[in-house]
Structure 1
Amino acid sequence: MKKYLGTVALLVGLSFACSSESAEAGEPESQVKTTFINPVWDGADPWMVKQGDEYIYCYSQNNSIVLSRSKYMTKLGEKKAIWTAPSSGWNRNCVWAPEVHFVDGHWYVYYAAGVSGPPFIHQRTGVLRSQTDDPFSNYEDMGMLYTGDNPDDPASNVWAIDMTVFEHNSKLYAVWSGWKEQMDTDATPQHLFIQEMENPWTLKGTRVLLSSPEESWETGGPLNLNEGPEALIHKGQVFIVYSCRESWLVEYRQGMLQLINPDGNLLDPSNWKKQGPVFEGNDLVYGVGHCSFVKSPDGTEDWIVYHSKKSTTPGWERDVRMQPFSWKADGTPNFGIAIPAGKQISRPSGEVVLEESEGN
């Protein structure tokens, strides 16, 4: 996430913190290429999902939420701004990290926003719902989700960003990054919370603290945080891959929670085990974080889409990258080593054949 940390944030410049980085497609190719190079485009907090034979990519830009749809993972396609922040209200500014999910015939967008910033102390999570099963249809604002400890008192809502949702055993769950209590400084530790959903725009019961930044590999800098959680489900196993350390530093990296008993209670923190880092930067790739997961066009490969810092200088200038990953014998993901910029990578399986068949 692009944010905060009081004095530190001022040192690296926050003039751009409330306007999201844009995503731009590459130049048209004169012939079909079998490889691509990272980065694929500018941006941060990349969310890509495959629906049918299309890839839907969701990002924020100038306090609007934009969708792209394309038959190719490595190329953005037709774009549409499906929502723009209102001129007044709780969500009028600082639109961060939107995700779009297809649930029960509608597309739902989960995003963070606030009234102002810095300091970024007002962030809450909102939900939009499409009118039809077309991701480019009009969207209805379903309001703010309550992410505190007392649902009967809406005024007691608590800071929340980076919400994602997933289904498991016919139940819908939300996971997000939040504060234990509302604070008047954005230099506040962030934790991961989980909660069952009554429906895609309403949380059920009360939140459960799932993960705190406690391990040596997720602490040690000016601010301890867990954020950017994303669900990864494979052969019945459930994983939550999340970002830790500071988003503006090269140490930003990925940790992972694994559901110990997939048939057990997801709301029991003891049913999850933590390991990490499972994906991190190196001498040539800086601060990898906030990922999403998609299948290749032919469904035979798994890919991680993530952002990294453009330089070692503290700040939030980032670009989007992608690379394939595999699975270990114990059923856990093996994300490998972050591939440096400029190195040729084979395009996702099925993408070249698809492009050739369309005569592009």
Structure 2
Amino acid sequence: MKVLLCSTLLFFTVVLTCAAQRVKQGKSAEFKDEKPGFFVNPIGNGADPWVIKHENFYYVCQASGGADGMRIVVRKSDRLSRLGKAVTVWKAPAEGWNRTQIWAPELHHFHNKWYIYYAAGKAGPPYIHQRSGVLESVTSDPQGAYIDKGVLSTGKDIKDETGAIWAIDVNVGRINGKLYAVWSGWEQNSNTDKTSQHLYMAEMSNPWTIRSERVKISSPDQPWERGGPLDLNEGPQFLTNAGQTFIIYSTRESWTPEYRLGQLRLKDPRKTPLDAANWEKTGPVFQGTPAVFGTGHASFTSSPDGKENWILYHAKKTTAPGWARDWRLQKFTWKADGSPDFGVPVPAGTPVKVPSGELQ
């Protein structure tokens, strides 16, 4: 979500069909294991996969849409390689800033409560109304009811009805005991969705309140982040290892085969992360192959026994422009310097050994 006239026409065609395709989610992919102890990708249909491990279960959060409106569902499974049944935990209201275009919900656990961070808009296309909000669980059950905690302060715009600047893909994590939010946003609100996206970060006073001014920590300024119809950084995810903090994010265009992952590393953990100069950019750290297209918007977890690290990401089903995507799962390791080594994406249908400690 820009060169020759034909490219421009193609761009508008893609944008006008984004709504239904971006939020269209299917049930878990049906497949037969090649042999016991193995699974094959894809493990599900849809985009922007989010998984969190809690008390021996895996919870997957995703957006869904139907005749009765848009919703957020949470799946529960004792297996990482198999998705559980979808349970609706929240439905979008009939009116308001978050009426439609529910994108990329994430499920987080703080202080015995669950919080879902999501993007939504009052209309679209064009996708100029996207803002980010928070839901809080009523109980300690991640598949229970949620209440709406409102819009996050992702930049100030007093002319906008929400008071916020365009923002999607909020991720939340702790650095040195402090809670921070990182997201993809615009420098200012615009009347066109052909607007470049950057990564912003701010400190939070609690899971539903941003307390500090936002700071831009990354822009699509590297050759491997540029070259398509729109330059963007999006889908940021905190990832920690051996005392180091990383932000793994998506770049290039999500509707093209060139969608890929980049990396930011906090250079000095003793200094504030709210300083762009304290982040070191590397990339691409994970990208497609002739057999796997558009690898992006990842989340991370560990195997049931905690001995392995796994990446859950989406890939395009074909090379054609569009948002027909599915979910892929594979193990990753760590390099000598402590940074993640995601390897090469495994083609669909290739037998993959199940995560360590997973029940058969």
- The TM-score, its normalising length taken from structure 1, stands at 0.93
State the partner residue of 1:43. 46
1:73 and 1:92 map into 2 onto residues whose CA distance is: 32
Q: Deviations over 1:298-353 (max 9, x none)?
A: 100000000000000000000000100011111111000011111111011111xx
Distance in structure 1 (CA, Å) of the matches to 2:31 and 2:332: 27
SS of equivalent residue, structure 2 residue 277:
helix
Look up the match of 1:255. Answer: 262
- 1:12 is matched with 14
In structure 2, give the amino acid aligned to 1:109: I
Which residue identity is paired with 2:108?
H
Given that 1:151 and 1:206 are in contact with CA atoms closer than 8 Å, whether structure 2 keeps it comes out as no
Which secondary structure does the structure 1 equivalent of 2:12 belong to? helix
Measure how far apart 1:8 and its partner are.
3.7
- In structure 1, give the amino acid aligned to 2:61: C
Map residues 114-129 of structure 1 onto 2, 5 A cutoff: 114-129=121-136
Q: Which deviates more from structure 2 when the two are superposed, residues 63-72 or residues 25-34?
A: 25-34
DSSP-derived class of the 1:50 partner? strand
Within a 5 Å distance, the mapping from 1:81-160 to structure 2 comes to 81-149=88-156, 156-160=163-167
What is the identity, as a one-letter code, of the residue corresponding to 2:12?
Answer: L
Unaligned runs of 5+ in 2: none
1:228 corresponds, among 223, 235, 250, to 235
| Moved segments of 4+, more than 2 Å | 3-16, 25-33, 149-156
Residue of structure 2 equivalent to 1:326: 333
Kindly provide the CA deviation profile for residues 12-40 of structure 1, in whole angstroms up to 9, marking residues without a partner as x: 36345246121422448799821111111
Give the 3-state SS of the residue equivalent to 1:11 in structure 2: helix
State the shift of 1:155 in Å: 5.3
Alignment of 1:170-319 (within 5 A): 170-319=177-326
* Cα separation, partners in 2 of 1:194 and 1:124, compared to 1, 3 Å: same
Figure out how many residues of one structure are paired with residues of the other and give that number.
Answer: 351
1:349 to 330, 341, 356: 356
**CA contact 1:149–1:207 (8 Å) conserved in 2:** no
Alpha-carbon RMSD: 2.1
Q: Percent identity?
A: 49
Could you say if the C-alpha distance between residues 256 and 31 of structure 1 is closer, same or farther in structure 2, counting changes exceeding 3 Å? closer
Q: Which residue of 1 aligns with 2:346?
A: 339
SS at match of 1:17: helix
| Equivalent residue, structure 1, for 2:57 | 54
Distance, in Å, in 2 between the alignment partners of 1:326 and 1:83 is 35
Choose which of 2, 24, 28 in structure 1 pairs with 2:27.
Answer: 24
Runs of at least 5 residues in structure 1 that lack an aligned partner in the other structure: 356-360
Structure 2 letter corresponding to 1:99: E
User: Secondary structure at the residue paired with 1:303?
Assistant: strand
